[in-house]
Structure formats: structure tokens, C-alpha cells
Amino acid sequence: MIIFRAWLALAVVEWIGVATLVLLCTDLRRWTFTAKLGVSFGLGLTVLTITLFLASLWGLRVVPSSGLVEGLILTVVAVVVRRDKIKSLLARRTVLLPQPDVPAWQRALTSVLTILLVILCGVVSATSLMEPLVEWDVVSSWSLKAEVLLREPVVISPYFKDTSKSYSNLEYPLLWPLAMAWIWSWTGAGDLETVKVLAPGLLFAFVFAFYGLLRHFHPKTNALLFTALLIGLPYFLSQTSRLMADPPLAYFVMTSFFFLYSWLNSHHPDDLRLGGFFVAAMLFTKSEGIMYFVTLFFIICAVWIWRGRDFRHCLSMTFWFLLVPATLTAAWFVFRTHNMNVAGEHSVYAGRLGPAVFFANFHRVPELLISSLYFFGSLNDWFLFWPILLVVLVSTVKHWIRPPLLFLFLACLLPLLLKWYVFTVTTLSVEELMETTMPRMLLQDAPLCVFFLAELSRSARMLQFPPSRGPAPEVEKG
Amino acid sequence: MKKRKNKVSVSSAKRTGTDGSDVSPAPLDGQLSAKENFRAWLFRLCLLIMLLWSTRNFLDYGDLLRQLLGKPMIERGYIGSDEWRNFLARSGRIATQRAYASARTQIGEMLNQARHEGRDSVTLRINSRVVVARSVDDLPSDVAEGWRWVVEQQSKLPPDARVYLNVPSMQVYYYATSLWYPRDVDVNWRPTIIRDVNTFLKSFESVGPQQFNQLRMLGYTHIVVATSQGIQLRDLRDSKGGTQE
């Protein structure tokens, strides 16, 4: 019964996400049903947790009724505002041209990949549900915050100023702990088992979103191939099943940059709105989200240079990708800064980010790079993914050197460079830093890198199966 | 773009199809050059290898699931946090993975030697503990034992308990502050800053039985002490609470 309530809590997240999706999108037929399912979960998490945080600031505890009321309001508004669009929620994506005959071997491959994905996700989910919350970092950092949030509103909680718990990273964002507290609010108390429903929830949302979004650009078989490639990565699976906060960040990073890339190709306003919400989620999931936000800022500057003459579109992009996320998460950043000042706690990196410290610590760079290679080449965690990506990158320079693929390349590379910069200026030992941080850093980038690989393979025709959408149709100059 | 057969002319502002759907840059038609063809086949081969390799996940997760099925929660949690038995607990930790691989090799060699001598196990001394091991799975895990102990004690603590941790164990501190929440767990009765193992050890203040009364007056109801039987939780409110060593 308790586990049933936990699944119900997850269903409410999806419900809020679907209502938000209907509200944000003017044309739901652009996406496959799987994409809508997967993206809705992320949107639901974003909207629900930001609202729960604001309510907590207002003095309200995390309770099921908050989410139910929110879901109800969003649904009513969606029905009133977008009544004509709701039907297309379940509609198939618009197909431009009739699908050419698919060879038998390709149909067989599609079936094999689908079965592989379903069984793998099933086995991993079952294992995750059987294993209680044990991961050291999750228990000491994320679930502790979730316990706090479940019992008292953030505005009166002494936890955020308690320096005896600084080890739990008091300044870390609250999306994931609020998601845990949300599940517990339905089951009645913090426990080590029911909260694990978040793991299969996220895993399936990841699979649906990744596959569904890939289908926007790729034929079915290719989309399945790259989804299987991502889901088969051992480190991705292990961290998702253990409820670490890096997989949700990786999900939001992937969706944020996907929608930016999609917008650069389509200029459809829906991409901007969805992207803006996912960027906010990125900032509210982990502190590393700030680095991705900085990356986004640089890319947006580059887009201004590239397409500056298209002033109106560039302004919309800046508004949705920078201003909206900053506004949605402003309350969190004010709260965080206030508490850190009261507690006298400052990030180990604060005040060390200037170039002077970087050059003074430059001797760490070779050691950092050499240590990093071990993690890139860790067969146990990544198989051959990173070496393959590197080889493909080297052999397809002429394809990714031009926009918009160049922006995807920058989206993958810049966060790594920013993190290496931070690793250089910090006082922590390289060995300790690498062991605890480097694999997670790679994980946060991995889904976006798989998407980039898929786009590279499309551009360089490395997987040229018969396309399901056919060639692009004639479109006359507007 | 020069080779594209189905020429697409779009405005610079909007690339949409007739029905509003996106028209992404479509794959180019025409023959691949020999070099491109070779690259494409190599890429497909790499993908195939990756996919075949990823089937290893079925074995790993299937084996772990088999170990977990039918066991009570405490035991499942022990297995879950045991870095020797559970590959998930080693995931991403290269130093731990190396230590595991090295221990496996060494114990394998020792077991081979023992079998020649007619024994099926080896006796090891690890951190002053004597362990009889038949495989690497028999090695003790401090993390798993810390998790199990904290979870087992949870039910013994009243909701308003205040616990003094008189053992310099960072693991127990991490797990207890979280799993026993909202009960306070302290290693010093004065305000402290605990960021990591160094600040933890610096903040830790050991107390003797003669100071237990002082702890009671400060509102502490329980104390965690190290005894010859291992770590124990004692009730300071008992008349003999915490004084037995």
C-alpha cells in the first residue's frame, strides 16, 4: 500500500508535467508521444519542486495537497487556454512524407533494440527498488535535506545555517531533495525504500525523452541505437539506480541544450519555452548547473554574433534561455546567499576563481589532465564511449566546425573546461578531487555527448539507413 | 550542402515545413567516398561492440538482483553498500575498483595455495580484525557495517533523542545525522564546523564516563561508545547508562 502511494506521488509529477507541457506548447504534434511522456516528467519535477520551494519559503511544509492543488490549477488553466490543443497530446507526430519501405533486417534490429531497452530498464529498475537507500553521498547530502524539507519549511529550518552539517553541502540546490520529500509526503515518513521509485521514474523518463527527442531528427532505428548506447553505459545506469543527483542534472542539461539546438534549426517558439524551464531546473538541481548556465551564456553570445541581424529571434532566445531561468530560480539564490552569509560558510571555490590563482596553480594542470584520462578511459564505467567520441570528433571536424553543430560541440566542451578550471584553482588534492568529482562531471555531460554523436553521425552520414521522414520538402522563401 | 539533391530554400529566420514541423538539415544523398565509407563502417562496428558490451549489464544487475531477492531490508542494504560484493558501490571509483581487482587476485592466489595444502579458506588480518575468507566477497566492508549498525539502532531511539557520538567515526556521523534525523547527533557539545574528515577529527571531543552527567545536563539522552564488542548505543537516562565499558 505504501509503495502504491509512492507510485501515485510519481504519477502526480507526470500529471503536473503534462499540464505544463500543454500550457507551454502551441503545437504538440511536433513531438512523438514518447518525447511528450519523457519531457513531461522533467517539466513536472521542475514546476513541482520550484513551487514547493516557494511554498516552503512562505512557511508551508511539503504536503501532498500542495502538488494536487497545483496540478488541478494547471489542468484547469490548460483546459481553458488550450482546449483545442489537448487532443494533439495523444496524436502522432506529423510525418512530412510517407515512410519508405523499411528492410526486414532493419525492422528486426528495431525489435531487438526495443526488447534490449525494455528488459535492461526493467532489470535495473527492479534492482534499484530492491536495494534501499545506501549510497553514501545520497544519504549524507540529498536525503538529509529531504528529511529536513519534509519536517519543516526552509524559512524556519535551522539546518541551512548549521555548520556542524556543512559536510552535507548546505548550499546545494533543492530540486532532488524536494522530489524525495514529495514522495515521502505521500508515504507518510522518510524511509529508505519507497523513495527509490524516483530511480525507475527518472530512468524511464530519460529513455522516453532521449529517444523521443532524437526521433525529431533521426529515423526510428538510429534513435533506438543511440538511446541503447546511452542507456547501456554502466556509470549512467549505476548512478541513476542509486538515486544520485547527477542523472537528473544530466537529464536537464541534455533537454536544455537539445531545445536550444532544436530552436536554432526551427525557430519554433515552443522550443524556447521548454528550454527555458529546463535551464531553470538545471540551476535548481546541482551547483554545477551554474557552469552549464555560463556555457549557455557564451553560446547565446555566439548565436548573437552568428545571427545578430535576426534581432527579434535573438532577443527571444536571450529572454527564454537566460532571463526566465534566472527569474524562476532567483528566490533560491537569494535564500542560499543569505544562509551562507549567516552561517559564515563560503564555497571552497569562492574568491579563488580569478586568473591570478589559476596561473599560480597552473602546475596542477598536467596532473589533472593525466588523471582525467584514467576516467575517460575507464572501461568498467564507460566501455569505449569517450575514445569513440574523440575519434569521431577528430574525423568529422569539417562537419561540426560550422553552426549549429558547433554550438552542440561547445555545449559539450565548455562545461568540461570550466570544471577543469575550477579543479585547478581549488585547494583540494588532485587525487581526491578526481576520485569524487571527475566521473560525475563526465556523467553530467554524457547524454548531451551521445546526442552530439548522433547528430555528427547524421551530418557525416555514418549511419545512413533509409530515413523514416524522407528528404526535406521544398519550402518557399517567406 | 552543395551536393543536396532535394534543394531546400528557406528563409534565414524560420526553417519549417509546410505543416509547421521542423525541417532539420537532412542527410545528404549520393555516394560516400571510399574514406567516408570506411569511416561509416568503422563507426557502425564501434556501435555494435558497445551494444554487445552493454549486455554485460544484464549479468551484473541480474546477479545483484538474485542476491537481493527474498532478503530482509537490512541485509539488502548491507549488500547494497558493500563495495566488495556490489559493483554499484564501486561504480566510478577507480581507486576502489583497483583495490578490489588487486584483492581479488591476491585472495585468488592465496586460495590456490591453500587448496594445494588441503584448505578451502584463508585467514586474513584486516585492520586488526581476523577474517576467514573463501572469496573476495567475504572481506568485511566498513561502509556496509556502518550503514547496518545505524539503521538497526534507529528503532531504539525515541523521536526526541539527542545523541553524543563518542566514537571518531566519520561514517557513523554521516549516516547517523541523516538516518536518525530529526534527532541531534553531536561529536562536541560546543558549536562546530564539520566539512570533511579533517574538520570532523578536529571537532571531535572524546568524553569519559565522569563527564556523562555533564552530557545529561546538556540534554543528551544517548551516547555511542566503542566497546570490546564493537560500537554500542547506550541510554544516558538509565541509572547505569553509558558507564559500562
In chain B, domain spans: 59-139, 143-235
The pLDDT tens digits of the residues spanning A431-467 come to 888 888 999 999 999 999 999 999 999 999 898 754 4
Kindly state whether A427 is in contact with chain B, defined as any CB-CB distance less than 8 angstroms. Answer: no
Distances (CA, A) of A186 to A42, A144, B180: 19, 18, 20
Collapse the DSSP code of B244 into the 3-class scheme (helix H, G, I; strand E, B; otherwise coil) and give the result.
Answer: coil
Per-residue confidence (pLDDT) for residue B218, from 0 to 100 = 95
**Is residue B12 over pLDDT 60?**
no
Name the helix (H) or strand (E) containing A289: helix A289-307
Closest CA to A343 of A136, A168, A180: A168
Q: Which chain A residue shows the shortest CA-CA distance from B92?
A: A439
ipTM (interface pTM): 0.90
Q: Output the CA torsion A143→B143→A170→A205 (10° steps).
A: -40
Q: What residue spans of A131-245 are helical by DSSP H?
A: 136-137, 144-151, 175-187, 198-214, 220-231, 234-241
Please spell the DSSP secondary structure of B4-50, one letter per residue: -SS-----SS--B-TTS-B---PPP-SPPPHHHHHHHHHHHHHHHHH
Q: Which chain B residue shows the shortest CA-CA distance from A306?
A: B12
Question: Given an 8 Å threshold on Cβ–Cβ distance, is A267 in contact with B16?
Answer: yes
B159-163 CB contacts, 8 Å cutoff, 24+ apart: B159/B183, B160/B221, B161/B221, B161/B222, B162/B186, B162/B219, B162/B220, B162/B221, B162/B222, B163/B220, B163/B221, B163/B222, B163/B223, B163/B224, B163/B233
**Is residue B9 over pLDDT 50?**
no
Per-residue confidence (pLDDT) for residue A100, from 0 to 100 = 61
Here the cell at position A69 is 492543488
Phi, psi of A72 (to 5 degrees): -65, -45
All residues of chain A having their beta carbon less than 8 Å from the beta carbon of residue B49 are 384
All residues of chain A having their beta carbon less than 8 Å from the beta carbon of residue B152 are none
Closest CA to A11 of A82, A83, A64, A80: A64
Question: Given an 8 Å threshold on Cβ–Cβ distance, is A267 in contact with B15?
Answer: yes
- Other CB atoms within a 10 A radius of the CB of residue B175 amount to 26
CB pairs under 8 A between A and B: 263
Across the interface, of B57, B182, B194, the residue whose CB is closest to A232 is B57
Per-residue confidence (pLDDT) for residue A53, from 0 to 100 = 97
Here the cell at position B57 is 549489464
Here the cell at position B20 is 509547421
Using a 10 angstrom Cβ sphere, with 0-12 exposed, 13-18 middle and 19 or more buried, the burial of residue A101 is exposed
- Other CB atoms within a 10 A radius of the CB of residue A29 amount to 17
| Angstrom distance (rounded) from CA A448 to CA A209 | 12
Using a 10 angstrom Cβ sphere, with 0-12 exposed, 13-18 middle and 19 or more buried, the burial of residue A272 is buried
The pLDDT tens digits of the residues spanning A129-185 come to 999 999 989 999 999 999 999 999 999 999 999 999 999 999 999 999 999 999 999
**B-proximal residues of A, 198-237, CB under 8 Å:** 216-217, 225, 228-229, 231-235, 237
Kindly state whether A388 is in contact with chain B, defined as any CB-CB distance less than 8 angstroms. Answer: yes
Q: Output the CA torsion A439→A442→A446→A452 (10° steps).
A: -160
Kindly state whether A136 is in contact with chain B, defined as any CB-CB distance less than 8 angstroms. Answer: yes
- Other CB atoms within a 10 A radius of the CB of residue A333 amount to 14
Across the interface, of B15, B54, B194, the residue whose CB is closest to A167 is B194
Closest CA to A368 of A444, A440, A437: A437
Q: Which chain A residue shows the shortest CA-CA distance from B154?
A: A191
Residue A393 and residue B43 in contact, taking contact as beta carbons nearer than 8 Å? no
Q: Which chain A residue shows the shortest CA-CA distance from B94?
A: A435
Q: How far is A272 from chain B (nearest CA, A)?
A: 14
The pLDDT tens digits of the residues spanning B138-184 come to 888 889 999 999 999 999 999 999 999 999 999 999 999 999 999 99
pLDDT tens string for chain A (478 positions)? 899 999 999 999 999 999 999 999 999 999 999 999 999 999 999 999 999 999 999 999 999 999 999 999 999 999 999 888 777 777 766 544 445 677 888 889 999 999 999 999 999 999 999 999 999 899 999 999 999 999 999 999 999 999 999 999 999 999 999 999 999 999 998 899 999 999 999 999 999 999 999 999 999 999 999 999 999 999 999 999 999 999 999 999 999 999 999 999 999 999 999 999 999 999 999 999 999 999 999 999 999 998 878 899 999 999 999 999 999 999 999 999 998 777 666 665 667 788 888 999 999 999 999 999 999 999 999 999 999 999 999 999 999 999 999 999 999 999 999 999 999 998 888 888 888 899 999 999 999 999 999 999 999 989 875 444 443 443 333 3
Question: Given an 8 Å threshold on Cβ–Cβ distance, is A265 in contact with B29?
Answer: no
| Angstrom distance (rounded) from CA A201 to CA A7 | 9
